[in-house]
């Protein structure tokens, strides 16, 4: 049995935390034993416990979690020299998972890049491997939609990741199409839009149920504001065509004109126009939705992603043991 400690220096409801949860859920329980160590508790920490993985909360427990492990997986969104120095001097082999588009220094540890683009910008690729993010297809899968007059447009994200031109474009769309409804998931505030067509859901963990009622997924992430965005992949897996800005977090998942539309960043008119095409084109929404499901099943399966992570753990641990024998 290989014992793995996942150390995540934060615990909210973002994509990094969701990936750790998914890895825990789909771990090979006959070969791997997992523990998660984090400075703070949270909703996703409770969900990790629910799939049978202990969560050690508090930095005072980190040392014992590292000593228990055969190998440590550090999850990070940037380079923190103190964390890497701590793991290096612990004497334990470790891997880092980079959940952001940024260049890492040449570390002694193997680094997993969560998008192909993150991998491509690294200099010494011998120390890096690309394992793009995946989604839990047992939760995010297509459901029959009820016949209705309304067209539901949904955005799921942390507000700080979505450029404000989203609201200018959506105001145009909502004025043009009285049957359109905009659902916002996340702690959005001060949008400047006041209309009965907009519903604010707040922070939710029942995203599949909300997406099950959704016809179009709309989102304008900033450039270089993360890695391969899970919310887009989850919507696609449920058969929902996506309209987003053409940035690094989305353009590995969306095939423009096939399962959604990629629009020029900060182009209000193009973003509104592509949403309009989908509102008016039921057949187009259906075809793009079918394409989205097919691509998601071929490329996004979290079970396959977890298998690749665990192959990395085995390889790194084998190399470590050979070098120390």
What strand order describes the sheet that includes 110-113? 55-57, 32-38, 2-7, 71-76, 94-98, 110-113, 128-130
Supply the mean pLDDT for the chain: 94
**Mean predicted confidence (pLDDT) in 176-191:** 85
- The DSSP H or E segment spanning 96 is strand 94-98
Sign of the C-alpha dihedral, residues 269, 271, 273, 279?
A: negative
Could you tell me the pLDDT band of residue 221, with boundaries at 50, 70 and 90? Answer: very high
Angstrom distance (rounded) from CA 105 to CA 90: 20
User: What pLDDT digit, counting tens, does each position of 230-288 carry?
Assistant: 999 999 999 999 999 999 999 999 999 999 999 999 999 999 999 999 999 999 999 99
List, in order of start, the domains of the chain with CATH numbers.
2-134+301-323 (3.40.50.11380), 151-299 (3.40.50.2000)
Q: What is the pLDDT of residues 88-113, one digit of tens each?
A: 888 899 999 999 999 998 887 899 99
Nearest to 133 by CA among 324, 323, 305: 305
Rounded Cα–Cα distance for residues 73 and 322 (Å): 20
- Is residue 85 pLDDT above 80, yes or no? yes
What pLDDT is recorded for position 198?
92
**Residue 77, helix vs strand vs coil:** coil
Closest CA to 224 of 163, 154, 296, 268: 163
Among the listed residues 159, 158, 162, 155, the one whose alpha carbon sits nearest the alpha carbon of residue 223: 162
Helix (H, G, I), strand (E, B) or coil at 141: coil
Residue 195 is encoded by which pair of tokens? 């209309």
Question: What's the rounded Cα separation, in Å, for the pair 277 and 300?
Answer: 26
- The percentage of the chain sitting over the pLDDT mark of 70, rounded to a whole number, equals 98
Report whether 300 contacts 236 (CB < 8 A).
yes
DSSP label at residue 159: G
């Amino acid at each position: 049995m290989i014992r793995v400690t996942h150390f995540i220096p934060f615990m909210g409801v973002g994509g990094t935390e969701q990936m750790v949860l998914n890895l825990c859920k789909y771990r090979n329980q006959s070969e791997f034993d997992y523990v998660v160590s984090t400075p703070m508790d949270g909703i996703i920490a409770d969900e990790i416990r629910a799939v049978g993985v202990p969560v050690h909360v508090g930095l005072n427990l980190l040392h014992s979690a590292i000593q228990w492990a055969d190998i440590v997986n550090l999850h990070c969104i940037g380079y923190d020299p103190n964390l890497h120095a701590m793991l290096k001097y612990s004497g334990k082999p470790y891997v880092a998972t980079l959940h952001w588009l940024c260049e890492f220094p040449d570390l002694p540890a193997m680094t997993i890049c969560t998008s192909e683009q993150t991998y491509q910008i690294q200099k010494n690729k011998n120390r890096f491997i690309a394992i793009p993010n995946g989604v839990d297809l047992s939760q995010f899968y297509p459901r029959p939609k009820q016949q209705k007059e309304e067209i539901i447009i949904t955005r799921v994200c942390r507000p700080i990741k979505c450029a404000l031109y989203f609201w200018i474009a959506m105001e145009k769309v909502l004025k043009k199409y009285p049957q359109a409804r905009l659902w916002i998931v996340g702690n959005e505030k001060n949008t400047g839009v006041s209309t009965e067509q907009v519903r604010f859901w707040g922070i939710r963990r029942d995203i599949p149920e909300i997406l099950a009622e959704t016809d179009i997924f709309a989102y304008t992430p900033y450039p270089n504001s993360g890695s391969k965005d899970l919310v887009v992949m989850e919507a696609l897996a449920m058969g929902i065509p996506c309209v987003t800005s053409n940035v690094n977090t989305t353009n590995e998942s969306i095939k423009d004109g096939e399962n959604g539309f990629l629009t020029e960043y900060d182009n209000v008119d193009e973003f509104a126009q592509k949403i309009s095409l989908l509102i008016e084109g039921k057949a187009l929404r259906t075809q793009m939705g079918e394409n989205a499901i097919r691509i998601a099943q071929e490329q996004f399966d979290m079970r396959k992603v977890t298998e690749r992570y665990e192959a990395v753990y085995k390889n790194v641990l084998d190399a470590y043991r050979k070098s120390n024998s």
